[in-house]
Amino acid sequence: MNRIEQARQYTEQLKNKTPEEVIAFFLQHFGQKIGFATSMGAEDQVLTDMICSIDKSTNIFTLDTGRLFPETYQLIEETCKKYDIKINIFFPDYEKVEKMVREKGINLFYHSVENRELCCNIRKKDPLKRAFKDLDAWICGLRRDQSITRLNNQLVEWDEQNGLFKINPLIDWTEEQVWKYIKENKIPYNELHDKGFPSIGCQPCTRAILPGEDIRAGRWWWEQPEKRECGLHNRPVK
């Protein structure tokens, strides 16, 4: 069986399980070879809570692009303290960042999709590749109704780009379910969520949204909706 078929089989096998059951299954199945990539967003805070209730020694990591909101750094601190865990933080290669900024400017991402993708590659994709080294699978907080770019995502996917299984335990959850879980379990969350930011990334590339706008409308808002992925979730193989 190839990896794509294997991912489909996992999805079929686990489709009626709760997110906690899915997480417990894969933590046990992959052992040290699975990691959780958190962006510190609301969904990821739910997953951190679930993972810590199962196995606090799980490899939980995040990316510091150097352009995050102060509130996000505050949340990293608060989360580590609440769960008594260490979140592994990966940084971009400073030489690549310096070259990019020298050649294209500090806010290059506003000038073209190409520039924005270059910045996302250097500040996010490259560090993520280092974080993925030695892993066979990663856990991710994608939900299907977050964006038109995520409608086809599945519970388990073969992530061809990174050569890993990608596990999306909250794939079928609604935004309401996420917030109900956060409130009921008193989970720390980014205070920007209360100020009109449903999806939080880098400071210059995230804005608050208006009532009724798509929940990812505040990310790279100057681009067309179908382009608005940072490259971390592009082209999943179902």
Q: Which residues in this chain contact ligand SF4 in the complex, by CB under 6 A?
A: 65, 67, 109, 116, 119-120, 123-124, 201-202, 204-205, 230
Q: Return the number of the residue (187 or 230) whose C-beta is nearest ligand SF4.
A: 230
Burial 4-30 (b: 16+ CB within 10 A, else e): eeebbebbeebeeeebeebbbbbbeeb
CB of 124 to ligand SF4, least distance (A): 5
| Cα angle, residue 153 at apex, residues 32 and 8 outer, rounded to 5° | 65
CB of 104 to ligand SF4, least distance (A): 11
- 120 belongs to the catalytic site: no
Q: Return the number of the residue (23 or 205) whose C-beta is nearest ligand SF4.
A: 205
Q: What's the CA gap between 22 and 156, in Å, rounded? A: 10
Q: What does the DSSP assignment read for 118-163?
A: HHHIIIIIHHHHHHHTT-SEEE----GGG-GGGTT--SEEEETTTT
CB of 119 to ligand SF4, least distance (A): 3
Q: What's the CA gap between 150 and 141, in Å, rounded? A: 12
Question: For ligand SF4, which residue has the nearest CB?
Answer: 202
CB of 205 to ligand SF4, least distance (A): 3
Burial of 166 from C-beta contacts in 10 A (0-12 / 13-18 / 19+): buried
Q: And the tokens for 228?
A: 């608005």
Q: Could you list the active site residues?
A: 230
